[in-house]
Structure 1
Amino acid sequence: MQITLKHVAVLALTLCPISAAATCDVTGATPEGGQVVACDGAEPNGFDGTLFRDTLTILPGASINRAIAEDTIVLGAGNDSLTMAGGEVSSLDDDCIGLGDDADTAVLQEGTLQCGDDGVDAGDASTVAGGNQIELRGVTIVSGGDGIDANGGDDTIIMSAGSITVTGTRFRDYGIAAEGGNDSIILSGGSITVPATSGAAVSGGNGSDRVDIAGPIALNSIINGDEESGDDGGTDILRFSLRLPRLQADLARQALSAANPAAGSVDIDGQTYRWANFEHIEVAISEAAVPVPVNSIGSLFALLVFCGLLGTHHIGRHKT
Structure 2
Amino acid sequence: MPPRTPLSTPLRAWRCPQCTVRTFSSTTRTQQVGPEHPRYINIPEPPQQTLPDRKFIKGRLPVPRDVFAGGVGKEKASDEWLESHTRTPKKEAQAQEGSREEWKHKMSDMRRRNLREGLASLRVRKTRVERRMRETAEKNQAEREELLNRPEREDERLTAPSHGLDLDYLYNIDLADHAKNDPTRDARLAHKTAKVASHANQKQSERLDSLHTLYLNARSFIVTPAQLDAAVDEAFGTAENPVTFGDASGMYGSGENAASVWAYGRPERVQDMLNSANRQGSRSAMEGAGGYAGVNQERMRRLAEGLTGGKMGDGDDARR
Indicate the TM-score class for this superposition, using the shorter chain for normalisation. under 0.3
Higher RCO, 1 or 2 (CA under 8 Å, sep at least 6)? 1
Q: TM-score, normalised by structure 1?
A: 0.19
More helix by share: 2
Relative to its length, the structure with more strand (as a share) is 1
